[in-house]
Structure formats: C-alpha cells, structure tokens
C-alpha cells in the first residue's frame, strides 16, 4: 500500500457517470476505490493515486459492512497533497453491487465489487466445470444489476467444447458465452474487442478458474501472478488474494477477485424469474394459478419433467436456491432490524449527551 505511483486519469476515464456528477459536493474531491486492506484504501482520482483512510465521523456513523467503501465505489474525499494521503468522508450511491453472505455463521453482507457494468463469470472447462454452480453465479449476477457474460476457460483441457457450451446455453438464456484458452490467446480477441473505455467489468469465479490468466491476456502482459494445474484434481492453483480495480491499456476497468469456494445468497433474490426464466414460463401454463407443482392436475412443470423438456437436476437446483433465498431474506430482515435498533440507540444516546452538556 506504500508504493503510490502517479498516473493521471480523468474521472470519466475511471467510469464516472452523470449520475455521480450530479452528486458532487463542494469542497470535496472525488475518487474511486481501487484496493482495500483493513480500512486503508488505494484511491484513483484525476490527479493520481491516493492512500485513503476514513474520517472519524465516517467511522463513528458506519454501522454495518455495507456502509464502508468497497472496491469500485466512488467516494467524497479531502486530499492532503504533501503526503499523497486523503480522508474519505462518504460513499456515493451505488449503481450496482455484487454481494454474497460473508463466510461463516454470522449474518453479514460481504460486498465483492460495486458499480459494475458487466460481470464475466469465469469457469474452467476441465474438472472444475459445474453447471449448477454457474446457475448460482448467474442468479447473483442478475441480482447485482450488472450484465452477465460467461467465459469458459482452459478449452485445451476439454475434449468436447461444443457440448459444454450447449449445456451452458441451456441454462443461460441470451447470455453471451465465450470459450477461451488464455495461455495461447485462443478466443480472447473477441472479448478484447468488446471492451469499451470507461466501462467496468468484474471477473468472478471459483478458485483456479483462470481469472488471473484471463486478466493478463486482457491487459497484454503478465500483470497478475498465475498458477498451474494441481495434480490430482485437475484444478488451477488459487493466486489472487484480494480485490483490485485495474485500468487496462485500452481504457476499460477490470475488478479481479479472489476465487470463491463458498457463494451463499445474501438476501432474498428478486432475480429468480430471470435466472430461471424457463421454469417461470412453465409455471404460467399450469391449470391453477396457485399450483404447488407437486401433484395437481394440469401442472406444466410436472409435465415438462415427465417428457424431459425440463431436466430434473435443473428443477432441483431451482428449488434449492428458492429455499435458500427465502431463508436468507428471513435472516437479513432480522439482522437489519437489529442494526436499525442499535442505530437509534446510538442517536438517542448522542441526543442525551448533547442535552446534558
């Protein structure tokens, strides 16, 4: 965090949109969070890179993880020119947000990346290939507000790429699918040509899926360290250890993320009908509007399962994610109520202290 260089950007080149321009505050500069480590931040701004920390007021008022800056966020800040340091006073409203439940038993949100235009869901075509996991990634990508695309890596390790692509297209309706071998640039050029200056892309996928190798190809040089394939399970070695915003030579911005072995839903998803549009459409054809899709006569879903139009494992995945989303919503609603109660207790305490003074 101490190696602060001084490239010069414009805010627009860093992805600043009119939505945020309308919310600039007089007396404060604007910058974008590129890296976060224990509430210390590397910030990109129009006059270089700054090492940022939170103001005392910000720290006092932040109640949950969501309140703190995340990689991709735009922040209001005061710059301390002689030190290349800045004080962060607030976070601009987010246009998109990719979140998951934090690992462990705590009911807490972990923001993976914010203000993303496109999400590249990266999955290897070797033994790491898992359509059910991809359904989960798609659901959360739709929920984020960004546009998903699927990048299937390590095509050289797959004996039948076409059938794998067909499996993915069967569950990702209308989502662009790319098959690449990043080591030889096979299939990478169409992705490079699609990148636009100022847009932000997040790379998301499991450990060893090939995100860092793909980023190196997009960047045009070995920017990120990569690992080979582990012996025994045909999976790549995990190399990325933190989230970071990278400006590509062509002007697009990429947020590389560590591989996620666990991807639990953070809140009840409103995107189920998008991620599982085929099941949603079948449900509309049921004879009864309140059909439970179990044993009712005229159930279109049961008919589709019987004739093979709908695969049983896809429907089972849908039911599992539906139950998980409902459970997540109940837990987050309860957690939000506790946070709000604590927030008001803090406000009332401050009011009493002012009254006593």
What 8-state DSSP symbol labels residue 155? G
Q: Is 156 annotated as a binding residue?
A: yes
- Compute the distance between CA of residue 209 and CA of residue 259 in angstroms, rounded to an integer: 8
**Per the structure block, which two tokens stand in for 305?**
């399962």
Q: Render 58-112 in DSSP notation, one character per residue.
A: HHHH--SGGGS--TT-EEEEEEEGGGTEEEEEEEPPPS-EEEEEPSSSS--EEEE
- Compute the distance between CA of residue 264 and CA of residue 354 in angstroms, rounded to an integer: 43
pLDDT digits (tens, 9 = 90+) for 105-132: 555 677 889 999 999 999 999 888 999 9
Q: What is the dihedral of CA 176, 182, 185, 189, to 10 degrees?
A: 30
pLDDT digits (tens, 9 = 90+) for 3-17: 444 556 799 999 999
Instruction: Give 40's Cβ-side CA count (13 Å radius).
Output: 7
Instruction: Give 159's Cβ-side CA count (13 Å radius).
Output: 1
| Positive/negative CA dihedral, 7, 205, 16, 42 | negative
Q: Is 211 annotated as a binding residue?
A: yes
The per-residue pLDDT for 345 is 62
Q: Is 163 annotated as a binding residue?
A: no
Burial of 104 (0-12, 13-18, 19+ CB in 10 A): exposed
The per-residue pLDDT for 266 is 57
- 333: nearest Cα among 345, 321, 341: 341
Q: Is 182 annotated as a binding residue?
A: no
CATH classification of 18-91 is 3.40.50.1170, yes or no?
no
What 8-state DSSP symbol labels residue 125? S
H or E segment and range at residue 217: helix 211-219
Query: Which CATH number does 272-351 carry?
Result: 1.10.40.50
Burial of 140 (0-12, 13-18, 19+ CB in 10 A): buried
Q: Is 205 annotated as a binding residue?
A: yes
The SS3 assignment for 264 reads coil
Distance in angstroms between the alpha carbons of the first and the last residue of the chain: 42
Which residue stretches of the chain have pLDDT < 70? 1-8, 101-108, 221-241, 259-269, 331-357
The per-residue pLDDT for 260 is 57
Q: Render 292-349 in DSSP notation, one character per residue.
A: -SSS-TT-HHHHHHHHTSS-HHHHHHHHHHHHHHHHHHHHHHHHHHHHHHHHHHHHHH
- 153: nearest Cα among 138, 164, 143: 164
**Per the structure block, which two tokens stand in for 153?**
């890596």
Delimit the domains of the chain by residue range: 18-91, 97-256, 272-351
Q: Is 158 annotated as a binding residue?
A: no
Q: Is 155 annotated as a binding residue?
A: yes
Tokens 């946070």 identify what position? 339
Q: Is 209 annotated as a binding residue?
A: yes
Query: Which CATH number does 97-256 carry?
Result: 3.40.50.300
Q: Is 207 annotated as a binding residue?
A: yes
């Amino acid at each position: 965090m101490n190696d602060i260089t001084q490239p010069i950007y414009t805010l627009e080149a860093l992805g600043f949109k009119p939505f945020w321009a309308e919310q600039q505050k007089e007396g404060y500069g604007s910058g974008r969070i590129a890296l976060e480590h224990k509430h210390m931040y590397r910030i990109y701004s129009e006059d270089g890179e700054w090492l940022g920390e939170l103001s005392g007021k910000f720290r006092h008022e932040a109640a949950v993880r969501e309140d703190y800056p995340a990689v991709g966020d735009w922040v209001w800040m005061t710059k301390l020119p002689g030190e290349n340091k800045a004080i962060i006073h607030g976070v601009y409203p987010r246009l998109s947000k990719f979140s998951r439940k934090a690992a462990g038993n705590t009911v807490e949100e972990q923001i993976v990346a914010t203000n993303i235009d496109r999400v590249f869901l990266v999955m290897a075509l070797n033994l790491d290939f898992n359509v059910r996991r991809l359904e989960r990634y798609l659901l959360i990508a739709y929920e984020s507000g960004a546009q998903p695309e699927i990048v299937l890596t390590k095509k050289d390790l797959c004996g039948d790429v076409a059938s794998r692509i067909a499996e993915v297209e069967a569950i990702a309706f209308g989502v662009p699918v790319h098959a690449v071998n990043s080591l030889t640039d096979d299939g990478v050029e169409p992705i490079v040509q699609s990148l636009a200056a100022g847009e932000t892309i997040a790379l998301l996928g499991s450990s060893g899926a090939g995100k860092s190798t793909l980023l190196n190809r997009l960047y045009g040089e070995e920017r990120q360290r990569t690992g080979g394939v582990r012996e025994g399970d045909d999976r790549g070695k995990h190399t990325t250890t933190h989230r970071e915003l990278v400006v590509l030579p062509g002007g697009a911005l990429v947020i590389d993320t560590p591989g996620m072995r666990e991807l639990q839903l953070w809140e009840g998803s409103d995107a189920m009908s998008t991620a599982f549009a085929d099941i949603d459409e079948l449900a509309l054809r049921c004879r009864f509007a309140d059909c439970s899709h179990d044993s009712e006569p005229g159930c279109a879903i049961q008919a589709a399962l019987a004739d093979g139009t709908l695969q049983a494992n896809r429907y089972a995945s849908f039911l599992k994610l539906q139950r998980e989303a409902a459970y997540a919503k109940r837990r987050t609603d309860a957690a939000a109520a506790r946070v709000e109660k604590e927030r008001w207790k803090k406000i009332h305490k401050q009011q009493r202290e002012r009254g006593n003074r």
